[in-house]
Amino acid sequence: MIGSLSIVVDEQIPLAEKIFSIFGTVHLVDGRTITNSLIKDADILLVRSVTKVDESLLRNTNVKFLGTATSGIDHIDVDYLKASKIFFSYSPGSNSRSVAEYVLNSLIMAKTASHPSFSEMKIGIIGYGNIGSKVKKNMDIFGSSSLLNDPILYEKTKDKSLTNLEHVLESDVITMHVPLTRDGTHPTYNLVDENFLDQLKSNVIFINTSRGEVVDEDALLSFKKRNPKSTIVLDVWRNEPQINTELLKQAFIRTPHIAGYSYEGKIKATRSLFNDLNDFYRTNFSFSALFNQKNIILSPKINSLEYTAESIISQHWNILEDNISLSYCNLEKDERAKHFDSLRKNYPTRYEYASRVISINKSANSVDLNIDVQDNLKKLGFKFSKK
């Protein structure tokens, strides 16, 4: 049986053909084109967030294992999978470091003279799971004060470090890290509504890397018009890939759902699916034997007289280069969707901080960093080499 399975895989899952072919024949497809007829004879279906998985997709198919290379599962009808006895695998936390680094890089670019320094800044983190906790850890390094809100986590743990939403909304920065939910005692659909926004500072930096439907986009547009000094950072949008062009124009950082798209994050998700397939089919294949990740050594070029941690980080990744061009707004509707997806499909390889090595030597072009800056960068994951 193993080796002869039929496996349909979203082509955006890295190393898919090499890694999963040990289980059977891999068919790479565009995730938006996956249909019931396409997967009729598939034993295994591996998707990403662009594929909605429900009864209409899976009914009368041969699928026994459904995996998503994502940490979010709002595109998956988990109840149907359970009722149909289809094994479900996902990758919680795989891209958490990538998203946390997106938040820090965004803040470095978005912070202006009118904002307090990081050491005096209050960071409101809404959703304190894998990602939110790493955002706090990164901001702690710079001495920021974090206000945390996660009512579901509080009900489970009674953690006194978690506070109410109204208190968190007084922060200089609001960053969203919640799952998309429509039911239950604390639904997040349209959580960011007019009432939410009315409580924010007029010069707030608002960041959303969770899901577009968490935000009432009309309310956010209205807030921005009333508060021109506010800064909007959006990686996720309602109705992707047909996104709101008016909101696009108002966002300072406007990226095509790539916050979690680090190379390392993608590989972690692939490894997670591979391990679950091993468990499901009771095999003992080795991921490391099929893929040996090398440490990518990239030393940033320093051309600034002020060698701060922030300047090094922004040279490692200038997040503004990932912005969706405003020319998107001039495209025909169908072309917008194609363009948005092409930005994700062709997104250049981005490595996490831990893959960066900063060279220190006594040459004129070397990095001359004080001990505190080096310490902060090391805590973020950067490595140093001495020559």
Phi, psi of 287 (to 5 degrees): -65, -40
Catalytic, 120? Answer no
Classify 213 as helix, strand or coil. Answer: helix
* Orientation of helix 309-316 relative to helix 371-380, angle to 10°: 40
Catalytic residue among 177, 211, 254, 344, which? 211
Catalytic, 194? Answer no
Total count of residues recorded for the chain = 387
Tokens of 10: 């979203």
Tokens of 199: 């409580």
Report whether the peptide linkage leading into residue 151 is cis, meaning its omega lies within 30 degrees of zero: no
E strand or H helix at 246: helix 245-250
Among residues 53, 32, 41, 44, which one has the least CA distance to residue 7? 44
For 12, which DSSP code?
Answer: T
Catalytic residue among 75, 97, 257, 336, which? 257
For 262, which DSSP code?
Answer: -
Amino acid at 19: I
- Residue 14 CB neighbour total at 10 angstroms: 17
Q: Between β-strands 44-47 and 65-68, what pairing exists: parallel, antiparallel or unpaired?
A: parallel
Q: Rounded to a whole number, what is the distance in angstroms from the first to the last CA of the chain?
A: 54
Amino acid at 296: I
Catalytic residue among 240, 264, 310, 352, which? 240
b (16+ CB within 10 A) / e for 290-328: eeeeeeeeebbebeeeeebbbbbbbebbebeebbbeeeb
How far is Cα 192 from Cα 232, in angstroms, rounded to an integer?
Answer: 13
Q: CB under 8 Å to 245, separation ≥6 — which residues?
A: 328, 329, 336
Catalytic, 211? Answer yes
Contacts 24+ apart (CB under 8 A), 292-295: 293/264, 293/267, 295/355, 295/357
Classify 46 as helix, strand or coil. Answer: strand
Catalytic residue IDs: 211, 240, 257
